[in-house]
Structure 1
Amino acid sequence: MGHVAANDNPDCPFCRIVRQQDPDVREVYRDDQVVAFFPTEPATLGHTLVIPHRHIPDIWALDEETAAQLASATIRVSQGVKSAFTPEGLNVIQSNGSAASQTVPHLHVHVVPRWRDDPMGNIWPETAYPDNEKSSACERLRKALGGPLTPSPPPVDADDHRKHLEFIQAIVTRMSSASSTAKGWLLPVITAAYGYALVKEARAVALLGVMAVLLFALLDANYLNQEKAYRRLYDIVTREPHRVPRFSLNPAHANAIAPDHACWCENLKRFIARWLPGKSVWLSWSIAPFYGAFTIVGLFIYWHTPSPPPSPPPTQPATTHATPH
Structure 2
Amino acid sequence: MSEECEFCEIVDRDDPDVREIYRDESVVAFFPTEPAALGHVLIVPRRHVPDIWSLEPDEAADLSRAALLLADAIREAVTPEGLSVIQSNGDTATQTVPHLHIHLVPRWKDDAIGPIWPVGTDFSEVSKEAAMLDVRDAAERLRSFTELPIAPEDRRKHLDYIQAVVTRQSAASSSAKGWLLPIVTATFGFAITQHTWPLAALGMVAVVLFAYLDANYLRSEKRFRRLYDTVARSTRRVPLFTLDPVDADEILANDAPAMSKWKKAVHTYLPKWSIWASWSIAPFYIALLLLGVGVLIASAS
Report the TM-score, using the length of structure 2 for normalisation: 0.50
Deviation digits for residues 203-229 of structure 1 (CA, Å, limit 9, x no counterpart): 010000000000000000000000000
Bigger helix share: 2
Mapped pair 1:173 → 2:167 = yes
Q: Is the 8 A contact 1:182 1:220 kept in 2?
A: yes
Cα offset, 1:267, TM superposition = 6.6
Structure-2 separation of matches of 1:155 and 1:289: 45
Counting matched residue pairs gives: 164
Mapped pair 1:245 → 2:239 = yes
Q: What does 1:145-164 align with in structure 2 at a 5 Å threshold?
A: 151-164=145-158
Matched AA of 1:306: A
* Corresponding residue of 2:209: 215
* Corresponding residue of 1:285: 279
Q: Is the 8 A contact 1:156 1:242 kept in 2?
A: no
Q: What does 1:1-325 align with in structure 2 at a 5 Å threshold?
A: 151-240=145-234, 243-260=237-254, 262-265=256-259, 268-307=262-301
Residue segments in structure 2 that go unaligned for 5+ positions in a row: 1-133
Cα distance change on mapping 1:242 and 1:293 into 2, 3 Å:
closer
Residue segments in structure 1 that go unaligned for 5+ positions in a row: 1-139, 308-325
Q: Is the 8 A contact 1:207 1:298 kept in 2?
A: yes
Structure-2 separation of matches of 1:181 and 1:190: 15
* Corresponding residue of 1:83: none
Structure-1 separation of matches of 2:240 and 2:261: 27
3-state SS of 1:258 partner: coil
Q: Is the 8 A contact 1:161 1:241 kept in 2?
A: no
CA RMSD after TM alignment: 2.6
Deviation digits for residues 158-193 of structure 1 (CA, Å, limit 9, x no counterpart): 110000000000000000000000000001000000
Q: Is the 8 A contact 1:221 1:282 kept in 2?
A: yes
Cα distance change on mapping 1:271 and 1:259 into 2, 3 Å:
farther
Q: Is the 8 A contact 1:172 1:231 kept in 2?
A: yes
Structure-1 separation of matches of 2:264 and 2:251: 11
Cα offset, 1:274, TM superposition = 2.9
Q: Is the 8 A contact 1:172 1:227 kept in 2?
A: yes
Cα distance change on mapping 1:260 and 1:270 into 2, 3 Å:
farther
Cα distance change on mapping 1:270 and 1:256 into 2, 3 Å:
farther
Structure-1 separation of matches of 2:187 and 2:285: 15
Q: Is the 8 A contact 1:156 1:241 kept in 2?
A: no
Matched AA of 2:161: F
Report the TM-score, using the length of structure 1 for normalisation: 0.47
* Corresponding residue of 1:108: none
Deviation digits for residues 110-166 of structure 1 (CA, Å, limit 9, x no counterpart): xxxxxxxxxxxxxxxxxxxxxxxxxxxxxx9xxx7xxx9553320101110000000
Cα offset, 1:266, TM superposition = 6.2
Structure-2 separation of matches of 1:210 and 1:149: 52
Larger radius of gyration: 1
3-state SS of 1:305 partner: helix
Cα distance change on mapping 1:149 and 1:172 into 2, 3 Å:
closer
Cα offset, 1:306, TM superposition = 3.3
Cα offset, 1:295, TM superposition = 0.5
Matched AA of 1:215: L
